[in-house]
């Protein structure tokens, strides 16, 4: 897929949304323009838009370098923008009154803007996109002043990638306001790095899905040797397939829990790669994908992709030493012995920029998850292209195996996710799994179009009405919904 094309500009919302969404999106865009005009006394010049995403398969492997298969959803972030040459101030407001208006100024070409990542502050996500873009704009002496109004419909902390949607939209708003000639590829790469400014060691799946997705397709994103994306058409099954997303309403905030969850997992996979590259006598690397590639190259056999995973999994089955903690994982000293890196080096390299809190590092379990999950992505994509008669069953069982591995080996599920997946499987879902980082957030289920109402009702009854009896009908409808693959980032100027 051509990655160096610009982000498209549309004058009509039907280029962005499925026809079934227009009755809702039209009034939403009108309300944004109206509110913008009442706050700033002028109309916006354009609206930037980037969606959230649901990941179909490939969890917690993007930051190890392995390919993943997300698709964009209708839920998104839109920012109305007007520019001025009078100053270089940024004024930003939000349609949600929970987020108070903010103002900041361009601090010069060196700093651009200061981001205090110790503070949990909504405008930091805008600043990430703004800073990331302007760092790349060598020829720009002084950026435009900006008037902004944001509206987001991706639930925060739900695994649907609300933060990436904000950062990508912010970066896109900054590009368009300053007429910077940047491609989709550059926008994505900058947004990936930019998001790390808020203190989360993020992978690159979300930003890629947000920018590159297209209606009716899932997106196979690969990161090695460099970011590349390929559209994967979802098979036409008989009966027709459908995806449902259910939010457990357990909020998993990476910013708060990162040191024990997300950032720790990133570090564990890096330590595992260091150990494996050493013990397998491969070029030293802290990327499991590089270990996989070097091992496959050294094995030299003309294996299929899946067979390459099997070969490595078999080779490492008994390669990790016994830990001294009775199966809880390795102490930092043990990791130091295994990798040959002094404790101090490990701390400086892996535990300083993104803090980590733990007594033990569970390298065996994490490696097992990452390699089997990467294998599942290859299988899933393959089934999509071959579309055998039992496609629904096969894809469903791959999703179920992913959930089991996330729960047992990566410990990123939680009782609520397990419960929703179980209810779903009992009510016509072929497969059900967490999507995104986990520890709460959303689940994704594969079912048939005709079973969607039954499945949704079963989850409302079996989960929400038990655990959250106070939810209104609107909140319930918002928590569990059918979804179709949607389109990626765009600029809209049809108002």
- Contact positions vs ligand NG1 (CB under 6 A): 55, 59-60, 62-63, 159, 161, 163-164, 195, 200, 202-203, 205-206, 254, 436-437
What lies within 8 Å, CB to CB, of 41 at 6+ separation is none
Handedness of CA 416, 417, 423, 424 (dihedral sign): positive
Minimal distance, residue 424 CB to ligand NG1, in Å: 19
Q: What angle do CA 390, 396, 401 make, to 5 degrees?
A: 130
Query: Measured from the CB atom, is 336 or 405 closer to ligand NG1?
Result: 405
Q: Which of 93/115 has CB closer to ligand NG1? A: 115
Query: Residue 355, Cα to own-chain centre: how many angstroms?
Result: 21
Instruction: Say which residues have a Cβ less than 8 Å from residue 412's Cβ, sequence separation at least 6.
Output: 59, 60, 261, 265, 406, 434, 437, 438, 439
Residues whose CB is less than 8 angstroms from the CB of residue 434 and which lie 6 or more positions away in sequence, other chains included: 59, 159, 403, 406, 412, 413, 417, 421, 441, 442, 443, 444
The DSSP code sequence of 165-218 is: HHHHHHHHHHHHHTT---BHHHHHHHHHHHHGGGT----SHHHHHHHH--TTEE
Beta pairing partners, 445? 244, 432
Residue (143 or 199) nearer to ligand NG1, CB: 199
Tokens of 237: 């099954």
Q: 446 is written with which tokens?
A: 């594969």
231 - beta bridge partners? 219
Closest CA to 410 of 433, 388, 430: 433
Min CB(405)–ligand NG1 separation in Å:
12
Residue 9's DSSP bridge partners are: 491
Concatenating the DSSP letter of every residue in 444-456 gives: EEEEEGGGHHHHH
User: At its nearest, how many Å lie between ligand NG1 and the CB of residue 17?
Assistant: 22
- Rounded Cα distance between 68 and 356, Å, is 25
Q: In whole angstroms, how close is the CB of 480 to ligand NG1 at the nearest point? A: 17
Rounded Cα–Cα distance for residues 311 and 294 (Å): 13
Shorter beta-carbon distance to ligand NG1: residue 184 or 254: 254
C-beta of 73 vs 146, nearer to ligand NG1: 73
Cα 44–Cα 50–Cα 53 angle in degrees, nearest 5: 155
Beta bridge partners of 110: none
Nearer to ligand NG1, 81 or 271 (CB): 271
For ligand NG1, which is the closer residue by CB, 82 or 245?
A: 245
281 flagged as catalytic: no
Q: Which is nearer to ligand NG1, 145 or 436 (CB)?
A: 436
Cα 432 → chain centroid: 18
Residue nearest to ligand NG1 (CB): 436
Output 146 or 192, the one with its CB closest to ligand NG1.
192
Catalytic residue among 76, 151, 206, 286: 206
- What are residue 183's DSSP bridge partners? 6
CA 370 and chain centroid, separation: 16
CB of 265 to ligand NG1, least distance (A): 9
Helix (H) or strand (E) holding 275: helix 262-279
Point out which residues pair with 241 in neighbouring strands: 448
Minimum CB–partner distance for residue 289 and ligand NG1 (Å):
13
Output the smallest distance, CB 118 to ligand NG1, in A: 18
Q: How many CA atoms lie within 13 A of 383 on its CB side?
A: 20
Q: Output the six-digit token pair for 413.
A: 């599920």
For the bound state, the minimum distance from the C-beta of residue 328 to ligand NG1, rounded and expressed in Å, comes to 23
Whole-number minimum distance, CB 251 to ligand NG1, in Å? 11
DSSP 341: -
Task: Show which residues are catalytic.
Answer: 206
């Amino acid at each position: 897929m051509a990655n160096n094309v610009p982000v498209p500009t549309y004058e009509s919302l039907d280029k962005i949304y499925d026809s079934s969404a227009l009755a809702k999106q039209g009034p939403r865009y009108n309300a944004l323009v109206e509110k913008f005009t009442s706050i700033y006394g002028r109309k916006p010049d354009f609206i930037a838009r980037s969606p959230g995403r649901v990941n179909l398969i490939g969890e917690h492997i993007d930051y190890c370098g392995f390919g993943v298969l997300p698709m964009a959803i209708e839920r998104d972030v839109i920012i109305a923008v007007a520019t001025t040459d009078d100053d270089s101030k940024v004024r930003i407001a939000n349609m949600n009154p929970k987020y108070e208006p903010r103002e900041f100024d361009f601090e010069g070409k060196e700093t651009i803007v200061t981001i205090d990542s110790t503070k949990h502050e909504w405008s930091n996500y805008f600043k990430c996109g703004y800073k990331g873009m302007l760092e790349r704009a060598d020829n720009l002496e002084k950026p435009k002043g900006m008037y902004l109004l944001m509206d987001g419909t991706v639930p925060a902390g739900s695994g649907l990638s609300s933060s990436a949607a904000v950062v990508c939209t912010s970066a896109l708003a900054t590009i368009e306001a300053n007429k910077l000639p940047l491609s989709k590829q550059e926008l994505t790469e900058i947004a990936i790095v930019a998001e790390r400014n808020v203190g989360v060691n993020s992978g690159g799946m979300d930003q890629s899905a947000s920018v590159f997705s297209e209606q009716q397709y899932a997106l196979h994103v690969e990161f090695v040797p460099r970011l590349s994306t390929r559209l994967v058409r979802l098979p036409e099954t008989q009966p027709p397939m459908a995806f449902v997303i259910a939010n457990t309403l357990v909020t998993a905030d990476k910013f708060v829990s990162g040191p024990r969850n997300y950032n720790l997992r990133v570090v564990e996979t890096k330590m595992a790669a260091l150990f494996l590259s050493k013990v397998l006598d491969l070029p030293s690397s802290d990327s499991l994908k590089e270990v996989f590639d070097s091992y496959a190259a050294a094995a030299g056999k003309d294996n299929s992709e899946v067979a390459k995973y099997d070969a490595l999994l078999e080779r490492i089955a008994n390669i990790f030493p016994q830990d001294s903690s009775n199966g809880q994982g390795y102490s930092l000293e043990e990791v130091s012995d295994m990798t040959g890196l002094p404790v101090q080096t490990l701390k400086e390299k892996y535990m300083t920029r993104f803090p980590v809190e733990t007594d033990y590092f569970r390298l065996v379990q994490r490696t097992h998850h990452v390699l089997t999950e990467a294998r599942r992505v290859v299988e899933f994509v393959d089934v999509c292209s071959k579309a055998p008669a039992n496609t629904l069953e096969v894809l469903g069982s791959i999703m179920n195996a992913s959930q089991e591995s996330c729960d047992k080996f990566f410990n990123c599920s939680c009782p609520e996710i397990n419960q929703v997946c179980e209810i779903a499987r009992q009510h016509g879902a072929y497969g059900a799994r967490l999507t995104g980082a986990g520890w709460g957030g959303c689940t994704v289920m594969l079912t048939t179009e005709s079973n969607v109402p039954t499945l949704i009702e079963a989850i409302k009854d079996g989960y929400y009405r038990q655990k959250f009896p106070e939810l209104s009908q609107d909140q319930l409808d918002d928590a569990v919904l059918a979804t179709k693959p949607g389109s990626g980032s765009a600029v809209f100027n049809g108002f």
